[in-house]
């Protein structure tokens, strides 16, 4: 179970709710309304909430019908702001002597993110962004006093854009839009690639589909997309990348289980576990069930999907129902087998250990992660990973295999863990696997450490566009 935003606090702090002191008199379809909603979500992230949970709370509290009208624009602005937060905060601090109230600062950050992304955001002219940001502040009684400040800051930025953006390049956080500790960690771990990694994380991830081989081949599905005038390319053995993202309900065959949404790098997990008909398999930390579904698509296996969170476990069942597949879903801690397994049960032929991690490899899809993580989280996650691996390894039958997976680019959660495991468990034989798969965007191949060679030599990634993952595979003697 890689660390996903839904595992983070799923309700905003009371301080976020306290910021909603007055009724917002703005048309729900207006940019001003979306800026205000996005600013509320940004405020919740600053207080420790994951962005998806923060957005959901904002939508739930919006007036009836307003959430539907503003959802798309609000989400777009919030995600853009997360990717530009370092630059936006630097610009605000550079232009304002005294820090404005948090909500005012967050509206400013959202507006600045749109202005910084002007080339990719032709829907909003600069003067419209300024006007609507002022409207958003004016519409709240407790912040109306700051409308002049908002107007002045944004207009000054537009006048001095070149000077200010060039000056921001000298500041590490403003330049790269990551915390200093994160940047330095990548510089140390990947001295030849750290800039590419940061740049990739600041781009929006593509919509990649996994074709269900029980229903279609990749070639047949690409032809189906072509017939419906949807542009797409092959991105892996079962992967198809859409040229333009779209809602899942518009994707041909999605509701019928022909395809699922899954990053090309994540699809390697089921492929490398090499399951065969009749095997007994454990998908540890399984929610939301993407890899569970893929395993069941590839072979007729006896699969147990384990998840510690009951609410997240329900998502596994929902995904499997759409695919027309089934597994035994259990609730329990992967690091404490006595919670969910009888001592006399058979051992497993295969175990997929997709463990909690920093999620540093999927930051392009979840840009809030960079601002939520702390440097102290890494050693705590390393200890948790080792606890889970130590509990799962005895459940592998002799000759069976365990695949260790994280969606991280930090070596502490990758190659260093694999070496620790191999040195700790004398009956563990390391087999070939992708090793460290660094994020790559279309046209810019990533690099991977060749785990089969047991060193850090780097080669070209076989995938054209993927998130960051680490894979290590072990067989029990």
User: Are 1 and 284 spatial neighbours (Cβ–Cβ below 8 Å)?
Assistant: yes
Q: Round to the nearest angstrom and report the end-to-end CA distance of the chain.
A: 26
Q: Where in the chain is the domain with CATH 3.40.50.150?
A: 269-476
The pLDDT assigned to 20 comes to 46
Pairwise CA distance, residues 25 & 143, whole Å:
13
pLDDT digits (tens, 9 = 90+) for 23-35: 567 999 999 999 9
Question: What does 277-334 look like in DSSP terms, one character per residue?
Answer: TT-EEEEES-TT-HHHHHHHHH---EEEEEES-HHHHHHHHHHHHHHT---EEEES-T
Q: Which residues are catalytic?
A: 407
What is the phi/psi pair of residue 30, to 5°? -80, 155
Which residue do the tokens 């979306």 mark? Answer: 34
Residues 6+ apart with CB under 8 A from 183: 172, 173, 176, 194, 198
How far apart are the C-alpha atoms of 390 and 397, rounded to whole Å?
14
> Across the chain, what does the average pLDDT equal?
91
Fold of 5-176: N-utilizing Substance Protein B Homolog; Chain A (1.10.940)
Buried b (16+ CB within 10 A) or exposed e, 77-98: bbbbbbbbbbbbbbbbebbeee
Structure tokens at 138: 């004016």
CA-closest candidate to residue 322, choices 238, 375, 257:
257
Tens of pLDDT along 224-237? 999 999 999 999 99
Is 188:197 a contact under the CB 8 Å cutoff? no
- CA 241 to chain CA centroid, Å, is 17
Name the helix (H) or strand (E) containing 80: helix 66-95
pLDDT digits (tens, 9 = 90+) for 313-343: 999 999 999 999 999 999 999 999 999 999 9
Average pLDDT over residues 30-49: 97
pLDDT of 215 above 70: yes
**CA-CA distance, 163 to 172, in Å (whole number)?**
17
In degrees and rounded to multiples of 5, residue 380 shows phi and psi of -65, -40
Is residue 86 scored above 90 in pLDDT? yes
Distance CA 362, CA 347 (A): 32
pLDDT of 13 higher than 70: no
Determine what percent of the chain is predicted with pLDDT higher than 70. 90
What pLDDT band is residue 440 in, cutting at 50, 70 and 90? confident
Helices (runs of H) and strands (runs of E) counted in the chain: 18, 13
Token reading at 301: 């296996």
CB 307 within 8 A of CB 316: yes
Query: What is the radius of gyration, based on Cα positions, of the chain?
Result: 23
Q: CB–CB of 77/38 below 8 Å?
A: yes
Cβ atoms 458, 449 nearer than 8 A: yes
Q: Which residues contact 33 (CB under 8 A, 6 or more apart)?
A: 24, 26, 27, 66, 69, 70, 136
Cβ neighbour number for residue 8 with a 10 Å cutoff: 20
Residue 120 has pLDDT above 70, yes or no: no
377: preceding bond cis by omega (within 30 degrees): no
pLDDT of the residue at 441: 73
Residue with tokens 């019928």: 256
Q: Which of helix, strand or coil describes residue 452?
A: helix
CA atoms of 87 and 183, how far apart (whole Å): 15
For the chain, residues classed under CATH 1.10.940.10 are 5-176
Name the percent of the chain lying above pLDDT 90.
Answer: 86
Select from 259, 325, 264 the least CA-distant residue to 292: 325
Q: Which residues pair with 472 in a beta bridge?
A: 404
How far is residue 232's CA from residue 119's CA, in Å, rounded to a whole number? 24
**H or E element: which one contains 399?**
strand 396-406
User: Which DSSP symbol is given to 99?
Assistant: P
Measured between alpha carbons, how far is residue 269 from residues 67, 105, 171, 195, 401 in Å? Answer: 36, 42, 38, 27, 13
| CATH architecture type of domain 269-476 | 3-Layer(aba) Sandwich (3.40)
């Amino acid at each position: 179970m890689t660390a996903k935003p839904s595992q983070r606090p799923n309700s905003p702090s009371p301080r976020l709710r306290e910021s909603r002191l007055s009724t917002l008199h703005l048309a729900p379809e207006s940019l001003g309304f979306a800026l205000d909603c996005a600013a509320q979500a940004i405020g919740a992230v600053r207080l420790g909430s994951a962005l998806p949970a923060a957005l959901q709370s904002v939508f739930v509290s919006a007036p009836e019908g307003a959430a539907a009208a503003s959802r798309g624009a609000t989400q777009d602005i919030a995600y853009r702001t997360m990717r530009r937060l370092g630059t936006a905060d630097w610009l605000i601090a550079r232009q304002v002597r005294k820090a404005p109230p948090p909500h005012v600062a967050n509206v400013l950050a959202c507006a600045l993110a749109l202005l910084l992304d002007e080339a990719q955001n032709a829907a909003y002219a600069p003067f419209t962004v300024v006007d609507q940001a002022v409207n958003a502040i004016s519409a709240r009684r407790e912040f109306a006093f700051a409308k002049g400040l908002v107007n002045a800051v944004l207009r000054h930025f537009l006048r001095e854009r070149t000077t200010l953006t060039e000056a921001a390049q000298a500041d590490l956080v403003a330049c790269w839009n990551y915390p200093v500790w994160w940047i330095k960690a990548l510089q140390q771990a990947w001295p030849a690639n750290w800039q590419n990694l940061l740049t990739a994380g600041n781009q929006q991830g593509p919509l990649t589909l996994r074709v269900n081989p029980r229903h279609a081949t990749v070639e047949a599905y690409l032809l189906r997309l072509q017939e419906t005038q949807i542009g797409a390319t092959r991105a892996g053995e079962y992967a198809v990348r859409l040229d333009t993202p779209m809602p899942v309900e518009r994707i041909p065959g999605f509701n019928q289980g022909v395809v699922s949404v899954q990053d090309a790098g994540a699809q390697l997990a089921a492929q490398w576990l090499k399951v065969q008909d009749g095997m007994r398999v454990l998908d540890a930390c399984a929610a939301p069930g993407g890899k569970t579904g893929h395993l069941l698509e590839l072979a007729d296996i006896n699969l147990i999907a384990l998840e510690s969170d009951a609410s997240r476990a329900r998502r596994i069942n929902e995904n499997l129902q759409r695919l027309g597949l089934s597994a035994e879903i259990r609730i329990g801690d992967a690091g404490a087998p006595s919670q969910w397994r009888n001592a006399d049960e058979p051992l497993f032929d295969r175990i997929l250990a997709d463990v909690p991690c920093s999620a540093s490899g999927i930051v392009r899809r979840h840009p809030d992660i960079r601002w939520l993580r702390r440097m102290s989280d890494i050693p705590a996650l390393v200890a948790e990973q080792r606890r889970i691996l130590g509990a799962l390894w005895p459940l592998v039958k002799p000759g069976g295999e365990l695949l260790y997976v994280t969606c991280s680019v930090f070596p502490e959660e990758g190659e260093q863990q694999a070496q620790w495991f191999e040195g700790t468990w004398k009956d563990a034989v390391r087999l070939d696997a992708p090793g460290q798969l660094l994020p790559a965007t279309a046209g810019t191949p990533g690099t991977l450490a060749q785990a089969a060679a047991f060193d850090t030599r780097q080669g070209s990634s076989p995938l054209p566009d993927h998130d960051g993952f680490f894979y290590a595979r072990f067989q029990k003697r």
